[in-house]
Every structure is written in C-alpha cells, then in structure tokens.
C-alpha cells in the first residue's frame, strides 16, 4: 500500500548507515597515523570492498587520503590545501569544549594571550557541530564554571614560531629577560617546548654559551626564525621534561615521605608540587620530591591528616624536628 514510503524509509536508513560509517572512518584517519586495510575493516566491521569504496568517497569530498598498496600497505590522511572542516565525534567534541574552557581559565587577563584565543574558540565551536550535539554542548556550557588560575600568558604566535623552528631545525633568535630582570640577546638551536606546572619552557642549545639551557617562554621577546639549519645534538637527558626537572631540583634537598594514606589522597594534597607518588604493597604511599624549602613541606604535610615518616638530609630533619617541638610547646602552653 505504501511502496514509495517504504522505499524512502529504506533509503533514509541506508544513507544514515553510510554517513555513520563515513564519519567513523574519517574520525579514525584523523588520528594522524597510518592504518592497514585489515585494521580499518576490523575496526569498522566492513568488507575490503566497502572500505575501498568509502575511501574513494572521502577523496571525492576533498579529503586527501594517501594509499600504499601491497605488503606493508596503509591508508593515511595527509594535509592538503583544501582540507575540509574537522569532524569530531560526540566524546571528542565534549573533550574539546572542556579543554578550551580549561585553557581559557589559565593565564593573565590580556587580549592577545592564548587563553583569550581559547575563549573565542570556545564560543565558536558549536557553529561546527551537528544540530544533535548543540543542545548537549549548551548544557555543558551552562553547567560549567572554571576558576581563574594566574599564570604568565603567552600568544599563539610565540608558541607557533618556536614550534616551527623546532620542526624545521632552524636556529632561533630572541631577547630574554631572566629572573633577576637582566636582558640579553640569545641565539639558540631549539629542541622542545615543555608545559609544566602552569608554565611554558623552551629547551634549547645556546650557541653563545655553548651549552644547553631552559628558557621561560613568557620571558622571551620577539622570537625569530633565522632560516639557518642545524644538526640535532645528543641530548643531555632522556627527555626535555627530565632535563627541566633536574634543573629545577639543582641546589635543593630531595625528600622522601612514607605516608599512611592512599596515593589518591596524597596526590590531592600535593597537587601543586612536582612530586613522584607511588603506592607501596603495605598500603602506604611513597612520595619523592624536592621542595623549595622545608617550610613548604611542613605546610603541605599539615593537610594530610595521616601519619608519615620523613627521609631527608640532616638539615631538613633538624628543621622539622625543631618546628615540631615548637608546635608541641605551643599546644601545651609552654614556650621554647
């Protein structure tokens, strides 16, 4: 009785299946790595013939999919001049929205900072989402508040300029103001940018000083690529982050704590400390850190509400013992 209607319903369902499958394929390829035909057909639960047909559809839409046939062959999405807009699935869209909101809350209140750019992008994101996701994103926005965290603000141009120099292995020049306020001109071979404890750093080889250095990105002024290439040197550490942490710990006394509390509770108290936190079989938590001073260590330990043991050098142990005696005396009404 309703042959045309039945045909329309079948066609709509068929088109919906194709669209869902294409979005799943596109989302997988946009991860940036190469996939074999076996991986893609297994993930999407489709035949090799359907995969080839869908790849051709993506190319027809303007997505540059690179193919290598034969043994060791793969499919990979490569950058192209006419790359269509990014497609996000539901979880990715929500994660992007939350990440932008978090980034927007970190920095100084300036117009040119990357935090301000994140705020603008946060407001534009819903324009690129399918209609079914917009109400969900609006609900997240209405329900979410983020506390402002004061941190030096950077511009997207600063980060991008340094990143391009690192990728192209080009020497970089800039003006630098150190912690004492002294300014100098630097010429470096940049290696890696590091984001650590709300600060951005550049690890580079300083050509004038002939040694590795770490620079705060917010203290760098007018970074410029020179176009002069360099050969990668052997790194003085396993990673840029390891090198940064080692430098920050120089001159400080390392401390180990054995705490009678779960690792999650300890991590919550020490969330602003660069600490290595591990559970031990006894149910306790081992913490290794290099605090700026024993004063900061005692302040953090006061919030734990658990017994602990301190393994440290003589100076830190003596200072903690003296402070403990003062607390006992103060609580008992006596004076030291």
Q: Is residue 139 part of a domain?
A: yes
Q: Is 132 found in the same domain as 185?
A: no
**Whole domain around residue 311: which residue ranges?**
255-332
87, 27 contact by CB (below 8 A):
yes
Q: Is 272 found in the same domain as 225?
A: no
Q: Is 96 found in the same domain as 79?
A: no
Cα–Cα distance, 320 to 295 (Å, whole number): 8
pLDDT in tens, 242-298: 999 889 888 888 899 999 999 999 998 888 788 899 999 888 999 999 887 888 888
Q: Is 273 found in the same domain as 213?
A: no
Show which of 65, 87, 109 is a domain's final residue.
Answer: 87
Q: In 3-state terms, the chain is what percent helix, strand and coil (to 5)?
A: 45, 25, 35
Q: Is 105 found in the same domain as 61?
A: no
Cα–Cα distance, 174 to 220 (Å, whole number): 6
- CATH of residue 316's domain is 3.30.70.120
Nearest CA among 115, 33, 95, 22 for reference residue 61: 22
- CATH of residue 70's domain is 1.10.10.10
The pLDDT score that the predictor gives to residue 223 is 96
Cα–Cα distance, 122 to 90 (Å, whole number): 16
Nearest CA among 285, 192, 277, 197 for reference residue 243: 192
Q: Is residue 79 part of a domain?
A: yes
Helix (H/G/I), strand (E/B), else coil: 48: helix
Q: Is 129 found in the same domain as 75?
A: no
pLDDT in tens, 124-174: 777 667 677 778 888 888 888 888 888 888 888 999 999 999 999 999 999
Query: How many domains does the chain contain in total?
Result: 4
Q: What is the DSSP string of 89-115?
A: -HHHHHHHHHHHHHHHTBS-S-SSSHH
Show which of 66, 87, 108 is a domain's final residue.
Answer: 87
Q: Is 225 found in the same domain as 181?
A: yes
Q: Is residue 318 part of a domain?
A: yes
- Cα distances from 168 to residues 161, 227, 235, 243, in angstroms, run 11, 9, 18, 22
Going by the DSSP 8-state scheme, the letter that residue 178 receives in this structure is -
Helix (H/G/I), strand (E/B), else coil: 315: helix
Q: Is residue 36 part of a domain?
A: yes
For tokens 């499919």, what's the residue?
A: 75
**What average pLDDT score do residues 310-333 get?**
87
pTM of the shown model: 0.65
- Dihedral angle, C-alpha 62, 68, 72, 77, nearest 10 °: -20
Q: Is residue 121 part of a domain?
A: yes
Q: Assess whether pLDDT exceeds 60 at residue 5.
A: no
Show which of 199, 230, 249 is a domain's final residue.
Answer: 249
The pLDDT score that the predictor gives to residue 149 is 81
Q: Assess whether pLDDT exceeds 50 at residue 304.
A: yes
């Amino acid at each position: 009785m309703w042959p045309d209607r039945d045909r329309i319903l079948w066609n709509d369902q068929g088109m919906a299946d194709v669209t869902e499958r294409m979005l799943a394929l596109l989302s997988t390829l946009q991860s940036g790595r190469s996939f074999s035909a076996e991986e893609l057909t297994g993930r999407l639960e489709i035949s090799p013939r359907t995969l080839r047909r869908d790849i051709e559809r993506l190319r027809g839409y303007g997505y540059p999919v690179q193919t290598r046939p034969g043994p060791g062959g793969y499919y990979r999405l490569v950058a192209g001049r006419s790359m269509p807009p990014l497609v996000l699935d539901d979880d990715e869209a929500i994660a992007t929205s939350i990440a932008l909101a978090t980034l927007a809350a970190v920095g100084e209140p300036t117009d040119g900072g990357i935090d301000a750019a994140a705020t603008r992008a946060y407001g534009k994101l819903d324009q690129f989402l399918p209609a079914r996701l917009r109400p969900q994103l609006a609900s997240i926005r209405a329900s979410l508040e983020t506390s402002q965290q004061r941190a030096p603000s950077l511009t997207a141009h600063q980060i991008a300029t340094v990143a391009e120099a690192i990728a192209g292995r080009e020497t970089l020049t800039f003006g630098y103001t150190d912690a004492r306020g002294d300014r100098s001109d630097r010429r470096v071979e940049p290696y890696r940018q590091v984001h650590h404890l709300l600060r951005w750093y550049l690890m580079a080889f300083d050509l004038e000083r002939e040694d590795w250095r770490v620079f705060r990105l917010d203290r760098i002024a007018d970074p410029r690529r020179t176009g002069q290439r360099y050969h990668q040197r052997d790194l003085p550490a396993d990673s840029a982050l390891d090198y940064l942490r080692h430098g920050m710990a120089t001159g400080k006394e390392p401390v180990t704590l054995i705490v009678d509390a779960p690792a999650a509770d300890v991590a919550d108290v020490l969330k602003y400390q660069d600490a290595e936190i591990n559970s031990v079989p006894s149910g306790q938590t081992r913490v290794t850190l290099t605090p700026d001073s024993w004063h900061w260590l005692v302040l953090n330990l006061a919030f734990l509400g658990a017994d602990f043991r301190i393994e440290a050098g003589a100076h830190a142990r003596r200072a903690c013992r003296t402070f403990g005696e003062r607390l006992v005396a103060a609580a008992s009404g006596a004076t030291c």
